[in-house]
Structures are given as structure tokens and as C-alpha cells.
Amino acid sequence: MSTRFTGTFTQQEPIPEDGIEAALAVLRHGRLHRYNTAAGELSETALLEQEFAGFTGAKYALAVASGGYALGCALRAVGVKPGDKVLTNAFTLAPVPGAIAALGAQPVFVGVTEGLVIDLEDLEAKADQANVLMLSHMRGHLCDMDRLMAICTAHGVTVIEDCAHTMGAEWNGTPSGRFGAVGCFSTQTYKHINSGEGGFLITDDAEIAARAVMLSGSYMLYERHLAAPGPEVFEQIKYDTPNVSGRMDNLRAAILRPQLRALPEQAVRWNARFHTVEDGLRGTPGLTLIDRDARGRFVGSSIQFLLLDWAADKVQEVLRRCAARGVELKWFGGSEPSGFTSRYDSWRYAPSQPMPQSDRILRGIVDMRLPLTFSLEDCALIASIIRDEVGAVFQQA
């Protein structure tokens, strides 16, 4: 009971050597801006977009300054206007409702199930309230995408997928981001590839792609993109699409390209760590593991479990005891936002109605990062610590 974990939950692996060399080459020539190229040169950003389109199977890809920017850009590109309502998950992170509110639009929150996915019954009940769903695959949990798309198609709802936690994940063999009109991804430090900040937008819709490129700040240099539609599409929209600059630069693109190539191998490593922790927690009294649909393939860079129907002080005691032994857990049940955790009722810029069934689940969600700097032995130790402390507090109840 006295063993302690001494690792760091925020320490990522170093940038690969070939990424460092590519970054140094950009620094040496000084052409960091994506459109600042020498004669005959293809920019790192344009090449990254081409490679990301190939990775996801999308026709078009755009690299941008952040995942949050990708979300806002996607909303604008599909035509969301101030005053519009946009459906989105009650279980998500602040950049999702933030992107909606930043447009002057209004989130309509949809409930969460014990599987930590969007409640499709609640979605069907609310589908007539909005023309767009910004679907968050929160913490890598994929819902039944076939049923979700059937609901949205029947109600004329355009789907934007927030894939910040599902780069490399699939549903029934189809990559995340490829179901809706637009898929949005993040390359922020704690995501599956790391440029500090950054993101992507993918789509098969030529007009949406052209609008996104113009919105990102192309200054009519759209022909320098390798994963964008032809100039004839831009001719239709280039004078009525505002510049809301949010381009990715060549330095970040240079360090991302090798990481993207390595992602399939990295996903295997993440999932090995995930399953080690999951196996170690299995059967812990009072702790509920999340059932995942076998049709989905995930990339386990974090793990969640439920302390369902626990009193708040008991959950906080588990967090305190685990922290004393070096294990950092986050809780979505706190009355105040803390770090990266917040709930739909935390965002006072986005009015909401109480959702008792979802509130019960949110109060029980405990979340933990799984960086690749952890060994499998580290993961087994972490699981044993959580198991000990959850069990000890559960016995006191």
C-alpha cells in the first residue's frame, strides 16, 4: 500500500530525430510562413496536408493553428451564422462550445451515456432544434456512427466531427472524421501527434474545403495547396469569404510529418498501455469500466472509469489518496471547472437546462492521461494504486 508512482503525467516523448532535422532545415532557410517558398519548392505545410488527406482517405485537408480553430473554421464553412443553434455533446471540453459561442451561435447540449458517448435517443429528440451537430468523440469514445448518421440524415442535420481524441481511430473500418461533412483534429501537445498547438480540417466537399482555405488566410494563394480543390471552386467563393487567419506554419508542419508516419505504430503502443491499466482495474469494487463497442477501434492515450453514484467527498478522497501516491486523476464531477475538466453547466456563456441522467454520469467520470513515456510496468503500478485506493474508500462507505 506504500508504493508510489514517480513518473510525470504531462511528459511527452521527444520529437523524432527526423522531425528535429526537418525543423532545423526550416529554421536555417527561414521560410516559416506556409506561403513563403523558394522557386519550385513545396512547403512543409502543403506536403503535410497532402499526407494527412492520404492518411484519412479524405479528398481535401487543411492544416491550421489549433484544433479549436479547425472547429470554428468548420462551423463558418458549413454556413453557421450568429443566432443559429448547434447541437453538441454535454460531455466535451470547453473549446467545443467555445467555438460555437464565438460565432454568436448557441449550443444545444445532448446527453451522455454510461459508455461516455452521445445519447442517441436524446439526439433524436433534439434533432429538429438545429441544422448542425458538432459531434465530440470525447476522450476517444466513438458512438454507433451508423445510427448517428441515419438520425442526422433523416433530420437534415450536417455533422462536424471533433476528432481531437480520435486521430487514427475507426468505426467499422472507416476513419473518424470521415462520416460527417467535416472532420476536425488537434495536434496540441496531449494529442496523438504533437506540435504544441495545431490542427487539421478534412472534408470531401469542394466548396467547404475552398471556404476553409479562404477563411484560414490564403490571401488568394490557394493554388499553393496540394490537398485543396481546383481554382474554379475558389472563383465561386473567394470574394465573399472573410479572412479569419489561422494558418499552420512550416516549422510545426516539419515536426508533424514524421509523427504522422509513425502514428499507426504509436497507436499500438498506446493501446498496450491502455489495456494494461484496464486489466489492472478490472473487478475493482465500486469502479465501473467503460464498455467499448467492438465495431470501434480507438487509440488509448487516456483512460476513463466511473465511480457511479459515489458521494462527492468520497470521489475527492480517492483523488487525494491517489495523488499522494503520485497518480494524477481528473474528475468531471466537481462544482467548479479545474484544468481541462468542465461540464456543460460550467459554461455560462452557453445557457443550458439541467440534464439529470447525464449529470449522474458526469459526476462519476474519472479521467487519466496515458503518455507514451510510461512503460507497461508503470501502467501496471498505476492500476494497482488506483485499485488500492478506490477499494479502501469504497470499503469506508
CB-based contact 356:90 (threshold 8 Å): no
Q: Residue 287: name the closest of 315, 321, 313 by CA.
A: 315
β partners of residue 385: none
β partners of residue 89: 110
For residue 336, the model assigns a pLDDT of: 80
Coil/strand/helix, residue 89: strand
* Tens digit of each residue's pLDDT (9 = 90 or more) over 249-276: 999 999 999 999 999 999 999 999 999 9
**Residue ranges per domain, the chain?**
17-257, 263-396
* Tens digit of each residue's pLDDT (9 = 90 or more) over 122-156: 999 999 999 999 999 999 999 999 999 999 999 99
Decide whether 17-257 matches 263-396 in CATH topology. Answer: no
Report the b/e string of 151-162 with b at 16+ CB within 10 A: bbeebebbbbbb
User: What does the alpha-carbon distance between residue 105 and residue 82 come to, in Å, rounded to a whole number?
Assistant: 5
* Mode of pairing for the β-strands spanning 199-203 and 60-64: antiparallel
Q: Which CATH architecture has domain 17-257?
A: 3-Layer(aba) Sandwich (3.40)
**What pTM value is reported for the model?**
0.97
For residue 1, the model assigns a pLDDT of: 57
Task: Give CA torsion, residues 50, 167, 36, 47, to 10 deg.
Answer: -20
Q: Which residue ranges of the chain lie beneath pLDDT 50?
A: none
What is the number of residues in the chain?
Answer: 397
CATH code of the domain occupying 263-396? 3.90.1150.10
